[in-house]
Amino acid sequence: MRSISSLKKSLSVKETPETDQDSTAIGPDKARIIEEIRKTIYEVRDLPTLPTIAHEVCRLIGDPNSSMVDLVEVIEEDVPLSGRVLRIANSAYYGVPRKIDNLKMALVILGMNEINNLVTTISVLNLFPQQSGKTTFDLNAFWRHSAACAELSVGLFEGLGLPCPSSTYIAGLLHDVGKLVLNQYFPEYLLTCINYAEEHHITLAEAELKLIGVDHGHIGSWLSKRWNVPDEITKAIAQHHVRPSDTHPYDLPAVIDQADRLFYVMEGRSTEEAVELLGKDSAWEAWHANRGRSTPELIKLLYERIERSLKLVKIID
């Protein structure tokens, strides 16, 4: 691996005034790096692929002409997956008072969207192996964060009294998948960006834009396109940090961005501490705008969803 100093030179790091908003301007080295990443995503054969069954389940959920029988038939083709779905459906995670004996019963009791979310979560959690020793990237922490953001995104829509798109959970789960691409194939770039973000007290996405020319959201969207996931999920992944200025504040990418931010406000803090911090956050107050539940009620609901996500990740592991 190249040293941090030599890598920073190769990335053409140049300090710019705080007023310079053109952090996405691409120089020769950035253009080369972006092309290198895109080429890896679209051409490398051993790049992890989303299991066919997850594709098919997602497709059936979005097809108004599909039936419960169609969904059961697809999932039953994967015997190990079917077994895991039933085991989790019968666990304390769902707390169903009666035993669920088969997938059809699971679909009736839990619902098609919940089964879709469960199948996708099981399918993606082990796609990328831990790259031990290459970066400080913690894969287990990554998936805990991703699952929490999936739940937080759903909770925000519901807590604010807004219609929740059916793709919300999966978009939240996959929103940071671009980090996995960097960790597995470009660990030196990721490490440099992590260090730069810490040194300059900026977000990782801001560091990526400055050093690479593209953030992990857009890198993740390239992977999601290769995986052929629905366009609304790809858009949410791409725009959860950087999006057009005219994006609706309660559009899916914006809600996932808010869930991402809330996770770090809530992590390691009590409900009271999180509420106090948010009460001083003018951006949160403007975004929340007294919609739906009050901030204390909403945060309490969201903590319950984080706990739920942690239980699911633990069961799947």
The answer to whether residues 110 and 181 belong to one domain is no
The answer to whether residues 173 and 85 belong to one domain is no
- Give how far Cα 314 sits from Cα of 187, 256, 308, Å: 26, 23, 10
Let me know if residue 40 belongs to a domain: no
**Which pLDDT belongs to residue 63?**
85
The answer to whether residues 103 and 249 belong to one domain is no
Last residue of a domain, one of 127, 147, 174: 127
Let me know if residue 157 belongs to a domain: yes
Report the C-alpha gap between 174 and 121 in whole angstroms. Answer: 9
Let me know if residue 165 belongs to a domain: yes
Q: Which amino acid is at 175?
A: H
Full DSSP string of 235-285: HHHHHTTS--TT--TTSHHHHHHHHHHHHHHHTTS-HHHHHHHHHT-HHHH
The answer to whether residues 122 and 178 belong to one domain is no
Closest CA to 173 of 238, 256, 86, 59: 256
Rounded to a whole number, what is the distance in angstroms from the first to the last CA of the chain? 31
The contacts of residue 185 (CB under 8 Å, 6+ apart) are 37, 40, 44, 47
Is residue 27 very low, low, confident or very high in pLDDT (cuts 50, 70, 90)? very low
**Which pLDDT belongs to residue 29?**
84
3-class DSSP assignment, residue 23: coil
pLDDT digit string (tens) for 76-100? 999 999 999 999 999 989 999 999 9
Q: Which amino acid is at 255?
A: V
Domain count across the chain: 2
Q: What is the mean pLDDT of residues 28-42?
A: 89
Cβ-based burial of 70 (10 A; exposed 0-12, middle 13-18, buried ≥19): middle
Report the C-alpha gap between 234 and 253 in whole angstroms. Answer: 10
Let me know if residue 238 belongs to a domain: yes
3-class DSSP assignment, residue 75: helix
pLDDT exceeds 90 at position 138: no
Last residue of a domain, one of 127, 160, 189: 127
pLDDT exceeds 90 at position 234: yes
Let me know if residue 38 belongs to a domain: no
Let me know if residue 109 belongs to a domain: yes
The answer to whether residues 219 and 106 belong to one domain is no
Q: What is the mean pLDDT of the chain?
A: 87
The answer to whether residues 175 and 310 belong to one domain is yes
- Tokens in use for 78? 């994967």
Let me know if residue 39 belongs to a domain: no
Last residue of a domain, one of 127, 156, 172: 127
The contacts of residue 261 (CB under 8 Å, 6+ apart) are none
Let me know if residue 14 belongs to a domain: no
Report the C-alpha gap between 221 and 212 in whole angstroms. Answer: 16
The answer to whether residues 211 and 79 belong to one domain is no
Residue 81 lies in domain = 45-127
